[in-house]
Structure 1
Amino acid sequence: MLSDLKICVVGLGYIGLPSAALLANRGYQVQGVDICPEVVDTINKGSIHIVEPDLDSFVHSAVNSGHLNASLRAEPADIFILAVPTPFHEGFVPNIDYVLSATKAIASVVKPGDIVILESTSPVGTTEKVAETLRKAGVDTDALHIAHCPERVLPGHIMRELVENDRIVGGITQEAGEKVAEFYRTFVTGEVLLTDARTAEMAKLTENSFRDVNIAFANELSLLSDKFGINVWELIRLANRHPRVNILQPGTGVGGHCIAVDPWFIVHEGGEDARLIRSGREVNTRKTEWVVEKVQNEVLAFREDKGREPVVACMGLAFKPNIDDLRESPALWVFQKLVAAGIDPMAVEPNVKKHPSIVLTPWKDAAQQADIVIYLVAHREFQNLEVMGKVLDFCGVTEA
């Protein structure tokens, strides 16, 4: 029976908590582990610390049923899921420190026959390093079933996509892959596809790099259109009428925990053979720098024309529309650069109630008070918003 199996999810962030809550509501006994006491306390009260549609009801139900509890230390379980961040060090060097720390945290409680799953998006070879770390801790990894199954969900749709999306399972061994695939088939309605661990790791990096390169094409078009005096939104609409063309929409840049990070994992290992992927990253980074330059030029023109400092509003700080996630956000980076340049803009982020270091302004107030309104993220609240000042639209809000 499902209730006889215990699952330990290490990392209760944007992937770990939804996964833990979903599995608990499917009848598994789930222990969530996080290093942050505030996160653990919040979850054990049946509440959430992140914004994601439907997650609150899943967590509330899971905790109240007794199938989900959170703690600071891992306990013995049958299935261990590692869902921790994989950022990069300075110079875009992959950082798997959190993965290795999570692995060490379970080393003392894993037992023969257990399943260990790395869900964190990781550089090629990381799953093997998980096994190596466990071996160094004295664990007989030949008696474990270790595999990589990268998450493939879209923020804002996580609870649905955890179930409906196809999943890739890459085992250290064929038997491990089959065991882990069997587990995912108990709650995934999409197809569960088997491969080896390295291919599974590369598949996730490939998916995000594909997105990054295609966004870079749209962002490069926006830079060229500005230079040529062309409306990029109209240009893309017209080009997309071709039956085999589907250009994405340009924006402030690319952010988030995956697309802005994962291509560097390939570039770091691939070197000169990863030229296109590197170029995509550089174009998207350049787009964000260009946004700052455009805003600074507009502020300078206002000063010269009006003889005073303009009131500037940065509309949106999240890395994409309608979420609260600020990780690697180009909009947040633009805001911070403008602050550093002495412009002191208002910060508007309707999906964040409070920020530890940024004073947030309600979007309607900012729209009425600002001399220059900068649309950085196309949140739904900004659609058809009455604005009093000059508009700089970098994400297509006014083109909807």
Structure 2
Amino acid sequence: MNFNTVSVIGLGYIGLPTAAVIASRRKQVIGVDISQKAVDTINRGEIHIVEPELDMLVHSAVNEGYLRATTKAEPADAFLVAVPTPFKREEGKTHVPDLTYIKAASLSIAPVLKSGDLVILESTSPVGATEQMEAWLAEARPDLSFPSQVGEESDIRVAHCPERVLPGHVVRELVENDRVIGGITQRCSEAACSLYEIFVKGESIITTARTAEMAKLTENSFRDVNIAFANELSIICDKLKINVWELIRLANRHPRVNILQPGPGVGGHCIAVDPWFIVSQTPEQAQLIRTAREVNDSKPQWVIDQVNQAIGMFLGHHSHYTARDVTVACLGLAFKPDIDDLRESPALAITQTLHKQLSSNLLVVEPNISTLPTSLEGATLSGIEEALEKADIIVLLVDHKAFKKIEFDRFSNRYLVDTRGVWTS
């Protein structure tokens, strides 16, 4: 199939890099986003997120006329939907997948669809979301036929292809990683493969839409379970007065053991979210997956307890102080090292809780952002040196490269809570 014009709906951490990579292959790309600020930024050849290599890619694509952004969908040959799938509350449940953004994206492109177009859902979604998207499109455009209605002879092709990239390496992995492609029909899958062949060097593996949806959820649930084991182990070791970092190093010398490193929790819009999609649809069966999620979701409170213990020890040696006189520095807000993405970040959640306790006596060091989120209003966005000079207690939450360069002796006469084992391993 020929795809002269490709539209990407949602210009966030996945949509914008995808749009830029396709545009770099000299295809006309129309990016669509509800944020006028993001649209204006992109049309200047700039980016509104932090991702290595992306700034140059977008700048070149815009200047050469292959990429432009808009707030309203326009006709294209293929549409890639890359919008969020958050949670909502429903009948006492807190982790119900919310398809509102996918529905809105579907209804936005429906008026400009024409026979022969391809629509791909890239958003990580619960099983059945691609079929639901197709149903919304079919309802909005009864003059067109869809694969669930007429099979292979449909006017519109519909498929699911989840992204499988690592923040900080998105541009490279979009090109190099294999893609799992699940069409509603075989011809839908083949059409989607033709699109990804434009820029993907990895292999495209065809399956059903439901299996493709479940594949992404399975990958991140597997990782979540393994992280939960490491996080639970760190709590056990603290109770037993054992250095968990040394323990894991020793255990990993076994040829068939590879324990991950513990941390302050699990963040990002994948590992911290995707397992709940499985749990929401199969609550009685997904017992291990649910437990892992609960272990990882509880880890931030354990870290807060560690910080409060450190505050207690500090006050024990400084009787003229109160808790609100103690200055705490939190190093890192992002959900993983060396990015600016704060989505579902346990570091941010921990810092927010400490901010409520400490008010203005909280220093936040996050080298990848220029302003603090509104939830931390009143706290100070600090540099590393200021934090090391002023803080009584240092809390390492994210192992950014800049933090790893700090020599351990800089923490003398200060209490240190190192959740990543940078200095205490």
1:246-281: CA deviation from partner (whole Å, max 9, x where unpaired): 000000000000000000000000111000000000
Return the alpha-carbon distance in structure 1 between the equivalents of residues 120 and 332 of structure 2. 35
Return the alpha-carbon distance in structure 1 between the equivalents of residues 373 and 249 of structure 2. 40
- The question of 1:287 aligning with 2:299 is answered yes
Instruction: Give the aligned partner of residue 191 of structure 1.
Output: 203
Instruction: Give the aligned partner of residue 102 of structure 2.
Output: 99
- The question of 1:42 aligning with 2:67 is answered no
Q: Which moved more, 1:247-256 or 1:291-300?
A: 291-300
* 3-state SS in 1 of match to 2:111: coil
* 3-state SS in 2 of match to 1:92: strand
- In the TM superposition, what is the alpha-carbon distance from 1:300 to its structure 2 partner? 2.3
- In the TM superposition, what is the alpha-carbon distance from 1:73 to its structure 2 partner? 0.2
- Choose the corresponding residue for 1:228, options 201, 219, 240: 240
CA RMSD of aligned residues (A): 1.3
Listed as ranges, the gaps of 5+ residues in structure 1 are: none
Quick check: 1:10–1:16 contact (8 Å CA) kept in 2?
A: yes
Return the alpha-carbon distance in structure 2 between the equivalents of residues 126 and 192 of structure 1. 21
Instruction: Give the aligned partner of residue 18 of structure 1.
Output: 17
* 3-state SS in 2 of match to 1:161: helix
- In the TM superposition, what is the alpha-carbon distance from 1:399 to its structure 2 partner? 4.9
Instruction: Give the aligned partner of residue 334 of structure 2.
Output: 318
- The question of 1:346 aligning with 2:363 is answered yes
1:332-389: CA deviation from partner (whole Å, max 9, x where unpaired): 0000111122364211111112234244111221122211000001011111313352
Aligned residue type for 1:387: F
- Choose the corresponding residue for 2:345, options 325, 329, 333: 329
Return the alpha-carbon distance in structure 1 between the equivalents of residues 139 and 288 of structure 2. 38
Q: Which moved more, 1:178-187 or 1:380-389?
A: 380-389
Aligned residue type for 2:421: G
- The question of 1:371 aligning with 2:392 is answered yes
Quick check: 2:85–2:102 contact (8 Å CA) kept in 1?
A: yes
Instruction: Give the aligned partner of residue 281 of structure 2.
Output: 269
Quick check: 2:158–2:183 contact (8 Å CA) kept in 1?
A: yes
1:275-320: CA deviation from partner (whole Å, max 9, x where unpaired): 0000000000111110011111211222232131221000000001
Return the alpha-carbon distance in structure 1 between the equivalents of residues 229 and 396 of structure 2. 21
Q: Which moved more, 1:335-344 or 1:75-84?
A: 335-344
Listed as ranges, the gaps of 5+ residues in structure 2 are: 147-153
Return the alpha-carbon distance in structure 2 between the equivalents of residues 117 and 399 of structure 1. 46
- Choose the corresponding residue for 2:230, options 209, 214, 218: 218
Instruction: Give the aligned partner of residue 181 of structure 1.
Output: 193
Instruction: Give the aligned partner of residue 395 of structure 1.
Output: 420
Q: Which moved more, 1:36-45 or 1:351-360?
A: 351-360
Return the alpha-carbon distance in structure 1 between the equivalents of residues 397 and 95 of structure 2. 25
* 3-state SS in 1 of match to 2:329: strand
* 3-state SS in 2 of match to 1:193: strand
Return the alpha-carbon distance in structure 1 between the equivalents of residues 135 and 405 of structure 2. 55
Quick check: 2:228–2:292 contact (8 Å CA) kept in 1?
A: yes
1:39-82: CA deviation from partner (whole Å, max 9, x where unpaired): 00000000000000000000000000000000000000000000
Instruction: Give the aligned partner of residue 255 of structure 1.
Output: 267
* 3-state SS in 1 of match to 2:283: helix
Return the alpha-carbon distance in structure 2 between the equivalents of residues 257 and 45 of structure 1. 27
Q: Which moved more, 1:371-380 or 1:133-142?
A: 133-142
- In the TM superposition, what is the alpha-carbon distance from 1:241 to its structure 2 partner? 0.3
Return the alpha-carbon distance in structure 2 between the equivalents of residues 8 and 136 of structure 1. 21
Return the alpha-carbon distance in structure 2 between the equivalents of residues 348 and 88 of structure 1. 29
Instruction: Give the aligned partner of residue 240 of structure 1.
Output: 252
Quick check: 2:22–2:198 contact (8 Å CA) kept in 1?
A: no
* 3-state SS in 2 of match to 1:254: coil
- Choose the corresponding residue for 1:115, options 95, 113, 118: 118
* 3-state SS in 2 of match to 1:295: helix
1:155-199: CA deviation from partner (whole Å, max 9, x where unpaired): 000000000001000001111011101211221111110000000
* 3-state SS in 1 of match to 2:423: helix
TM-score (norm 1): 0.97
Return the alpha-carbon distance in structure 2 between the equivalents of residues 84 and 318 of structure 1. 20
Aligned residue type for 1:322: D
* 3-state SS in 2 of match to 1:271: coil
Quick check: 1:384–1:398 contact (8 Å CA) kept in 2?
A: no
* 3-state SS in 2 of match to 1:31: strand
Return the alpha-carbon distance in structure 2 between the equivalents of residues 305 and 117 of structure 1. 61
TM-score (norm 2): 0.92
Return the alpha-carbon distance in structure 1 between the equivalents of residues 400 and 169 of structure 2. 15
- In the TM superposition, what is the alpha-carbon distance from 1:398 to its structure 2 partner? 1.3
Return the alpha-carbon distance in structure 2 between the equivalents of residues 56 and 127 of structure 1. 31
Quick check: 1:368–1:387 contact (8 Å CA) kept in 2?
A: no
Aligned residue type for 1:175: R
Quick check: 2:310–2:415 contact (8 Å CA) kept in 1?
A: no
Return the alpha-carbon distance in structure 1 between the equivalents of residues 6 and 124 of structure 2. 20
Return the alpha-carbon distance in structure 2 between the equivalents of residues 95 and 238 of structure 1. 43
Count of residues paired in the alignment: 399
Aligned residue type for 1:390: Y
